[in-house]
Amino acid sequence: MPEPVENMKITLASRPSGAPVPDNFRLERAAVPEPGEGELLLQILYLSLDPYMRGRMDDAKSYSAPVAIGGVMEGGTVARVVSSRNSNFAPGDIVLSHSGWQLYATSNGDGLRKLDPTQAPVTTALGVLGMPGFTAYAGLRNIGKPKPGETVVVAAASGAVGSVVGQIAKLRGARAVAIAGGPEKCAFVRDELGFDVAIDHRAKDFGVQLAAACPDGIDVYFENVGGAVAEAVFPLLNDFARIPVCGLIAHYNNEPAEGLDRLPGFMRAVLRKSLTVRGFIQREFVDQRPDFLTEASAWIADGRLKFREDIVDGLENAPEAFIGLLQGKNFGKLIIRVSE
């Protein structure tokens, strides 16, 4: 393999005001980093794009530090070891890493996980067998806890997390109701993934359709979106309903605004219906990851867990793809193919 001569990376040029725009990103070229003692050089093959990255663009207190201005945008990656000064890794190894939006990166090996391309496509380590899939698994297992016969409603059901939530809910014997954007996505989750019902949140009578799809109310609402979807779901929640709060993509670009304070009504309902509302980050349940990989791998092997990937070629196209992700333009797990 010829020695790489140039790195390309996408950095944060400025912090967004509202929705991100292309000028918030900067494409830079630099020398390929040299691995030091105990380090290895990685060539990034695939980059995962996920909604949480929007929060990293803001300089606000959160569960993780923001990306610095001029810093490489962060993200999960699948990479090939180009050269190694670390006895645990050899050139040619394929690894799961967190190297961000760039062509090459160095690592001391901490946090890397070797992948076996013969067991599953390596891209699944960024999606159905990666952080999004585990987020779905952990949120349902620890918070949603669906019982046979219960109704589970999933927002953003065609996405990387939501699509797995609904399928696991079905495997647990529950009834899965999908909320997705557009007829094509609704058909996919219903006809290919096996959700019982799929409802287009863009429909003018969305609330009416949702109520009709949940005649016995809603026992678990897996929250990925917030906004108008959550407002339609909330009146339908049963007593003792559980709400794993995974994401609020409808609000990620919001500026603080004055208006009707809905918190008192929300808290009254939490009290009156004995609701469980629990935000979570998947890494809280990291000890359950081996269980997830064992179960999910078996489900994929026997066809009970299906997935769809939306792959975009070229690191330079990552900003546009990410902006589209926040607008719901992707169809399936969004991945950038960085290198062949």
Question: What would the pLDDT profile of 180-200 be if each residue is shown by its tens digit?
Answer: 999 999 999 999 999 999 999
Fold of 131-285+294-298: Rossmann fold (3.40.50)
- 161: Cβ contacts below 8 Å, ≥ 6 apart: 132, 133, 135, 136, 222, 224, 246, 247
CA pair distance 336, 133, nearest whole angstrom? 18
CA pair distance 36, 108, nearest whole angstrom? 8
Asked whether the predicted pLDDT for residue 308 surpasses 50, the reply is yes
Q: Is the dihedral of CA 246, 251, 253, 257 positive or negative?
A: negative
Give CATH superfamily name and number for 7-127+308-337.
Answer: Medium-chain alcohol dehydrogenases, catalytic domain (3.90.180.10)
Coil vs helix vs strand at 325: helix
The torsion defined by the Cα of 70, 74, 80 and 84, in degrees rounded to 10, comes to 60
**pLDDT category of residue 256 using cuts at 50, 70 and 90:** very low
Mean pLDDT for the chain?
Answer: 93
Coil vs helix vs strand at 256: coil
**CA-based nearest residue to 89, from 110, 74, 117, 120:** 110
- 262: Cβ contacts below 8 Å, ≥ 6 apart: none
Question: How remote is the C-alpha of 84 from its chain's centroid?
Answer: 31
The β-bridge partners of 213 are none
Provide mean pLDDT across the span 264-287: 91
pTM of the model: 0.88
DSSP 311: E
Neighbour-count burial of 135, counting CB atoms closer than 10 A to its CB (0-12 exposed, 13-18 middle, 19+ buried)? buried
DSSP 151: E
The pair of structure tokens assigned to 159 is: 């996405």
Shared fold status for 7-127+308-337 and 131-285+294-298: no
Tens digits of residue pLDDT in 124-161: 999 999 999 999 999 999 999 999 999 999 999 999 99
Tens digits of residue pLDDT in 30-40: 999 999 999 99
- Report whether 83 contacts 55 (CB < 8 A): no
Domain boundaries, the chain: 7-127+308-337, 131-285+294-298
Q: Give pLDDT, residue 258.
A: 53
Tens digits of residue pLDDT in 86-95: 999 999 999 9
